[in-house]
Amino acid sequence: MRPSSPSWCQFYSLGFFVQSLGLSVDELGLSVINIRSTGFKNVAVLFHDIRIRKRCAIVTDMDTVFFDTTPNLADSDAWAARKRKAIGSQTAGAHRKIDLDAFGAGNVWVRSFYATHTFEVDFVGAGNHEVIVRTVDKVYKAPATITQATTELRSGLLHQSGFRTLTMAEQEGKGWFAVLVAQTLDHQLVVPPYIREAVLFAHGSFSRPLIIRILQYRISCLWRIDVASHARLSAFALELERFREQEIDLPALRAATVAALPGDVVHAFLAGMN
């Protein structure tokens, strides 16, 4: 569950898993419920040993400041207000984490997962700057602004790439910006760690057929774009069959996957599967 901005949550939940795993949240057997942070506990309280014995992952933001908020006499009124708001959000986020962690303590069915900053900032910070770059010319028309935005997104500096992503989302409206970004997603998209961990927790153990299906999808993605990988991927397909027949275990499959799909985004998911 995640507060506010339902379009971001819904579009990205679908895009993340279709593009990264070849599966939608529905196919994973998960439900996404979007509510504001004040309502988290009202829903999560249902998941308990004496109530609904299913896992509930609460997903929210910590709103940790990612740019310099030191007051400066040269700041415009708008920029000074933005700094104050960021500091206030950070304080509220820290309190929210304390509250939710205490709420879930001792309950094996409920766990909270946090974006360090905000969804938009953590998304670009996870390595998805090129995804946002592909939307720049849909948001801006002036060549100078397009160049500046692209430079900031590719800067490798979170205070630049994160702030530019937020600026674009706020300008377009987060719902419409979600549509624009969803149209640019591909199989190289990186799922932010806190969302990946939330899904792994909520889903629980992955069956062998489901793991095989995910890896077959990753094979197909690389097969289409890298002819040189075909022999390696064909050999890996045989390892998948061995896994299906229980001739090798998950650790052995992980090792085979590293060799067959070097640098692939699936490794982070496999590492958390059991």
- pLDDT digit string (tens) for 88-141? 999 999 999 999 999 999 999 999 999 999 999 999 999 999 999 999 999 999
| Res. 175 pLDDT band, cuts 50 70 90 | confident
Asked which of 203, 236, 261 is the last residue of a domain, the reply is: 203
Domain carrying residue 110: 6-203
Q: Report yes or no: 258 and 10 within 8 Å, Cβ to Cβ.
A: no
Q: What is the mean pLDDT of residues 180-202?
A: 92
Asked which of 203, 236, 257 is the last residue of a domain, the reply is: 203
What is the Cα–Cα distance from 164 to 226, expressed in whole angstroms? 33
Are 109 and 159 part of one and the same domain? Answer: yes
Q: What is the mean pLDDT of residues 180-184?
A: 90
Which sign does the torsion angle of CA 64, 67, 34, 39 carry?
positive
Q: Report yes or no: 243 and 264 within 8 Å, Cβ to Cβ.
A: no
- Residue 156: DSSP 8-state: S
More confident of the two residues 25 and 137: 137
Which residues on adjacent β-strands are paired with residue 162?
Answer: none
Q: Which two tokens stand for residue 157?
A: 């500096």
Does residue 173 come out as left (phi exceeding 0), alpha (psi in the -120 to 50 range) or beta? left
Is residue 150 assigned to a domain?
yes
Asked which of 187, 203, 219 is the last residue of a domain, the reply is: 203
| Res. 72 pLDDT band, cuts 50 70 90 | very high
| Res. 33 pLDDT band, cuts 50 70 90 | confident
Report residue 2: phi and psi, to 5°.
-145, 145
Is residue 31 assigned to a domain?
yes
Q: Is the pLDDT of residue 182 over 80?
A: yes
| Res. 5 pLDDT band, cuts 50 70 90 | very low
Mean pLDDT for the chain overall: 92
Are 64 and 151 part of one and the same domain? Answer: yes
Is residue 1 assigned to a domain?
no
| Res. 12 pLDDT band, cuts 50 70 90 | low
Are 84 and 116 part of one and the same domain? Answer: yes
More confident of the two residues 259 and 34: 259
Q: Is the pLDDT of residue 263 over 80?
A: yes
Three-class DSSP labels, 203-267: HCCCCHHHHHHHHHHHHHHHHHHCHHHHHHHHHHHHHHHHHHCCCCCHHHHHHHHHHHCCCCCHH
- What is the structure's pLDDT at 268? 95
Q: Is the pLDDT of residue 38 over 70?
A: no
Residues across the chain: 274
Are 45 and 127 part of one and the same domain? Answer: yes
Are 122 and 224 part of one and the same domain? Answer: no
